[in-house]
Amino acid sequence: MREILGKLKGSQELCSMYADGDDLEKFAVGFVTDFDDDFVLFERVSPEGKNDGIKCELIDRVVKIGVSDKYTAQIEKLHQHHKQKRHKKVDCTDGVVVGILRYAMNNAVICAVELCESDSYEATGFVKGIDGDIVTITSIDKHGDDDGEVIFDIGRISHVLCGSSDEIALKILHWMRKGGDF
């Protein structure tokens, strides 16, 4: 799988990534931007052809990758039509997980973090800090309100999603509740 990811990273070709072995109807379309021994960094594109955040996924969860098919060609045309610019490059020098968390922290992007392959997001909010192997997230609830902090070991992370349409909506709600302007 890593050889395929390397080719996709180099080509910047749009692809479909299937990472749910229980539901092969579910997949994400986007660009492979980086990977390390454990994780792949994937810049997502929505079915409408718009940017839909960046995700970090365990490589071992990737069941299959689709390339050069009619659906991804359609999404690519829509992506070009909407004149979507690619995301700012994520620096993965210290690994994909650290890279995406630093990206979220430095750009005030809300992220959703799955721990221990639980299939749910245990922490959603702003990355407050990374201290060695410990991550602190200022938690934001589904209404956009502050909800304390979540602290966990970086080694427990199995999936991170940041800057998707859901997280952008949550960030807008958060700023509106704070009386600010987005």
In this structure, what CATH number is given to the domain that contains residue 74?
A: 2.30.30.100
Residue after which a domain boundary falls, among 87, 116, 142 = 87
**Tell me, what's the pLDDT at 20?**
75
Beta strands 111-115 and 64-67: pairing type?
Answer: unpaired
Predicted structure pTM score:
0.91
Tell me the torsion sign for CA atoms 170, 145, 160, 118: negative
**Tell me, what's the pLDDT at 148?**
96
Contact 45, 30 (CB under 8 A): yes
3-state secondary structure of 59: helix
Q: Are residues 160 and 76 in the same domain?
A: no
**Tell me, what's the pLDDT at 26?**
82
pLDDT tens digit at each of 182 positions of the chain:
888 999 999 788 999 999 877 777 888 999 999 999 999 999 999 999 999 999 999 999 999 999 999 999 999 999 999 998 887 889 999 999 999 999 999 999 999 999 998 888 999 999 999 999 999 999 999 999 999 999 999 999 999 999 999 999 999 999 998 776 65
Number of domains in the chain: 2
Q: Which domain holds residue 93?
A: 88-182
What residues have CB less than 8 Å from 159, skipping those under 6 apart? 55, 56, 57, 58, 61, 113, 114, 117
Q: Are residues 93 and 49 in the same domain?
A: no
